[in-house]
Structure 1
Amino acid sequence: MRTYSTELLDLLDDGRVRYAGMIRFDLGEGSFGFIRQSSDYVYGGVTYKAMLDGLIEVSSLSRSSGTAASGFTLRLSESPDNGVTPDVLLNIENYDYLDRAVTIYDLHRHPDTGAVLGDPIPMERGYINRIIHNEDPESGFYMTVECESRALDYGRTNGRIRSQEDQHRRSSGDKYFEHASTTGRQKIKWGKA
């Protein structure tokens, strides 16, 4: 259960809290973070780089109950003045991004002093499903990152065979599938003794 300071609860009741949105990408090459404010911020061993408003847009975050899958999208637009060129966006394809974690946080700040009011609160978690590159004559080049929640696994059917690597992604240190690849396949006739 999450607990909040009295100061934060009072400011929330008054509607006076300032928010700074944070996004963390846990790619194969490491973790990268961005924060919507004018200076960098360090949290959980990751330096969240300052980003301008509108550089990364997050779709509405939907909530559902049960095992229904939900998702969200991120849109990253080119901004040559800030070093985000179409080539930079295309180079993201060189990273190990498929099925990697994305977490969206809210960081609460005091409205008068700007002081941080506790740790960032995770608002949504998902996994990158695919990246789509687009070019719009009016807005320029942009990239859409489609993210899905793990609830999608409850209804997904595919021919994939679970492996030790898959299991480690879900629970590091779990050795359930450690010897699965060495046992080979065995054909079992059901109902025969």
Structure 2
Amino acid sequence: MTIGNEGDNPSVNKTVKVERNAGNIIIGNSPEYEISSAINELLKSLANKPFTLKKNRRRPSSETVVKIQHNNLKAKSHIIKQYLDHSSKVEEAYSEIDSLVTFGKDTILQNLNDLYFLALDAVEIDYLICDIDIAKVRENSEFILDFIIQRLKNTVFESKNTPAYKEHVELGVNVVVAHAFIECIIMENPADDS
């Protein structure tokens, strides 16, 4: 991307030339910022649930541990821990979301699944004409999860109904993505490979 002035005249508009872009370039206000998002309603619902810090930690199920190992996600275990600390709140928020947004839960889960396939496209893992290559998923697992988290945060921040506090967004996105992982909406299920 190049930005320049037409000569030295400060009254002339600046020009921007962009070649091959797949990310965000925001110049001025986007109409996307005027549209509400289902994920934000879920995050707001999560933020309104009471929370107390617990000293004793809940351990993941053996199925979850196997799935973490299967997808090579040990470096992202912190989001699973966050989910375990908040899992009952996530379930409550999902049960409420359909009363706030028509097909809200399905919309959010479908969006997460779509983001997973976008991430696979980004790392050039084929899924249309053959089974997903788990070795390639394992090799790119951290990028895939980071891709999903960042795209979801983009949706949150680019929507009209953004939650009031950054911490609610950070924690909320992490636990929603971890929930999608545990529920086999994103990443690969070891049971499917047997």
Pairwise TM-score range, normalised by the shorter structure: under 0.3
Structure that is richer in strand per residue? 1
Q: Highest relative contact order (Cα 8 Å, sep 6+), 1 or 2? A: 2
Query: Which structure: larger Rg?
Result: 1
TM-score for both structures, normalised by structure 1 = 0.24
